[in-house]
């Protein structure tokens, strides 16, 4: 099993230092999305006292030429604090600070999709849009081989692993448990977890979150997962199809509702929204992975509980459709629907913005994309 050298450093020795009183000052770890639109970066600064809200946090900067975010000749980028969480690694009173990235001219960096999402969410705040995202991921060794798989072969075929228990079925549960508690400590809105269909693949769910909170909480939950995996010496992949062939891919199903969908007669509102989504399939595919559909093309084959990337479909309890109405929602005639198309490596700001633009702002039109 390939694990990192850092994970083998003596953790008892480390504990001696982390147990030292830290005095009145506070460590704030600033986190941002890099130029790839998928990678996360972080760096820490000392604050003189504990910040009580995001307004108490100073702006900062970093070298964008080292994060695929700018040319070396004009490389200073601004970090603008956007959301603050408790730090489950350094613990109270230390903080995790999710930031927006602005360029030298204070325009949003290309990979900063938060600003646009925030503006769209503020236009529909009275409709109380709620989201819940199901983040699937795969654990890998440092050699890129799935965690716990035989070093020169494959485990037994899919079937026993989904929600499985036992050493021959659940690969890497320590990481899942550590991540869940760390998210609860951070006050990330995590609402569940389960083992997935492919061994070494897992899922956690975040939600319901209103508006911009969805993206903020999911990005911080992803950061915490990367950081927990680092401690264990393994790697988390959000690739939508990490192993080709007869193995499930990894998605980020996005559940969505508004005040009207959650009330009496809500099923009709859900059906109207699905009609709008049907007319804008390619626009959504374009927004649902960082490469405009290219990554998802490997996953959305119409097999392995996915729909075909070229076809829109919807149905009650249908896990082979683009949009699924959960059975309970069909029975209650109100609730929410699930968009099964987003890839595991999607930007949640882009996904939630697209849903609001189509379903609530009723925007039309397709950006034609070539994801062949």
Position among 34, 38, 87, 203 found at the interface with Mn ion (CB under 5 A): 203
Position among 100, 136, 295, 338 found at the interface with ligand ADP (CB under 6 A): 338
The reply to whether 211 sits near ligand ADP by the rule CB under 6 A is no
* Cα(122)–Cα(124) distance, integer angstroms: 5
Q: Which is closer to ligand ADP, CB of 95 or CB of 253?
A: 253
Residue nearest to Mn ion according to CB distances in the complex: 253
Position among 35, 64, 141, 207 found at the interface with ligand ADP (CB under 6 A): 207
Paired with 27 in beta bridges are 46
Number of H helices and number of E strands within the chain? 10, 13
* Cβ at position 68, least distance to Mn ion in Å: 30
Polymer length of the chain = 372
Q: Which is closer to ligand ADP, CB of 129 or CB of 199?
A: 129
Find, among 228, 172, 226, the residue nearest to 201 by Cα: 172
The reply to whether 334 sits near ligand ADP by the rule CB under 6 A is no
The reply to whether 204 sits near ligand ADP by the rule CB under 6 A is no
Start-to-end Cα distance in the chain: 36
* Cβ at position 284, least distance to ligand ADP in Å: 17
Per-residue binder mask for ligand ADP (CB under 6 A), 260-289, x = binder: --x---------------------------
User: Between residue 126 and residue 155, which ones bind ligand ADP under the rule CB under 6 A?
Assistant: 130-134
Q: CB neighbours of 243 closer than 8 A, spacing ≥ 6?
A: 138, 146, 198
* Cβ at position 259, least distance to ligand ADP in Å: 10
Q: Which does 130 bind (CB under 5 to 8 A by kind): ligand ADP, Mn ion, none?
A: ligand ADP
Q: Sign of torsion, CA 67 344 225 246?
A: negative
The reply to whether 304 sits near ligand ADP by the rule CB under 6 A is no
* Cβ at position 303, least distance to ligand ADP in Å: 18
* Cβ at position 324, least distance to Mn ion in Å: 7
* Cβ at position 247, least distance to ligand ADP in Å: 18
Position among 38, 87, 100, 134 found at the interface with Mn ion (CB under 5 A): 134
* Cβ at position 4, least distance to ligand ADP in Å: 30
* Cα(42)–Cα(29) distance, integer angstroms: 6
Position among 85, 161, 202, 256 found at the interface with ligand ADP (CB under 6 A): 256
* Cβ at position 202, least distance to ligand ADP in Å: 12
Part in contact with ligand ADP (CB under 6 A); list of ranges 103-111, 238-246, 255-263, 359-367: 255-263
**Phi first, then psi: what are they for 290, rounded to 5°?**
-70, -10
Burial class (CB in 10 A: 0-12, 13-18, 19+), 364: exposed
The reply to whether 180 sits near ligand ADP by the rule CB under 6 A is no
* Cα(272)–Cα(266) distance, integer angstroms: 10
* Cα(264)–Cα(115) distance, integer angstroms: 33
Q: CB neighbours of 107 closer than 8 A, spacing ≥ 6?
A: none
Contact call for residues 348 and 133 (beta carbons, < 8 A):
yes
How many residues bind to ligand ADP according to rule CB under 6 A? 18
The pair of structure tokens assigned to 79 is 């970090």
* Cβ at position 192, least distance to ligand ADP in Å: 6
DSSP 197-245: SSTTEEEEEEEEEETTHHHHHHHHHHHHHHHHHHHHT-EEE--S-SS-S
How many residues bind to Mn ion according to rule CB under 5 A? 3
The reply to whether 339 sits near Mn ion by the rule CB under 5 A is no
Can you tell me which residue has the tokens 């083998």?
A: 8
Part in contact with ligand ADP (CB under 6 A); list of ranges 180-188, 254-262, 267-275, 290-298: 254-262
Can you tell me which residue has the tokens 């699905």?
A: 274
The reply to whether 341 sits near Mn ion by the rule CB under 5 A is no
**Which residues in this chain contact Mn ion in the complex, by CB under 5 A?**
134, 203, 253
């Amino acid at each position: 099993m390939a694990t990192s050298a850092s994970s083998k450093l003596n953790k008892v020795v480390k504990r001696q230092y982390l147990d030292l009183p830290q005095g009145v000052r506070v460590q704030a770890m600033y986190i941002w999305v890099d130029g790839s639109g998928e990678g996360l970066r972080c760096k820490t600064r000392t604050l003189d006292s504990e910040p009580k809200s995001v307004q108490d946090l100073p702006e900062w900067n970093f070298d964008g030429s080292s994060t695929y975010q700018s040319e070396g000749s004009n490389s200073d980028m601004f970090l603008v604090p956007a959301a603050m969480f408790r730090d489950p690694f350094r613990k109270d009173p230390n903080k995790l600070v999710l930031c927006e990235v602005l360029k030298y001219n204070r325009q949003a960096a290309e990979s900063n999709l938060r600003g646009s999402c925030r503006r769209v969410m503020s236009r529909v705040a009275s409709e109380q849009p709620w989201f819940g995202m199901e983040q699937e991921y795969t654990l890998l060794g440092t050699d890129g081989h799935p965690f716990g798989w035989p070093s020169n072969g494959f485990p037994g075929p899919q079937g026993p692993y989904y929600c499985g228990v036992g050493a021959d079925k659940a690969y890497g549960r320590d990481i899942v448990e550590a991540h869940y508690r760390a998210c609860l400590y951070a006050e990330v809105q995590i609402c569940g977890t389960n083992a997935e269909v492919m061994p070494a693949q897992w899922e956690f769910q975040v939600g319901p979150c209103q508006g911009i909170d969805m993206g903020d909480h999911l990005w911080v939950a992803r950061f915490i997962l990367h950081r927990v995996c680092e401690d264990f010496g393994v790697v988390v992949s959000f690739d939508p199809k990490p192993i080709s062939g007869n193995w499930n891919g990894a998605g980020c199903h996005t559940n969505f509702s508004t005040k009207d969908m959650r009330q009496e007669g809500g099923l009709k509102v859900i059906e109207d929204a699905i009609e709008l989504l049907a007319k804008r399939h390619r626009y959504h595919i374009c927004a649902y992975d960082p490469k405009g559909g290219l990554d998802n093309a490997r996953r959305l084959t119409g097999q392995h509980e996915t729909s075909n990337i070229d076809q829109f479909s919807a149905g009650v309890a249908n896990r082979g459709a683009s949009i699924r109405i959960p059975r309970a929602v069909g029975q209650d005639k109100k609730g929410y629907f699930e968009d099964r198309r987003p890839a595991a490596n999607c930007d949640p700001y882009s996904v939630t913005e697209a849903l609001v633009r189509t379903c609530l702002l009723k925007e039309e039109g397709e950006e034609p994309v070539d994801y062949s």
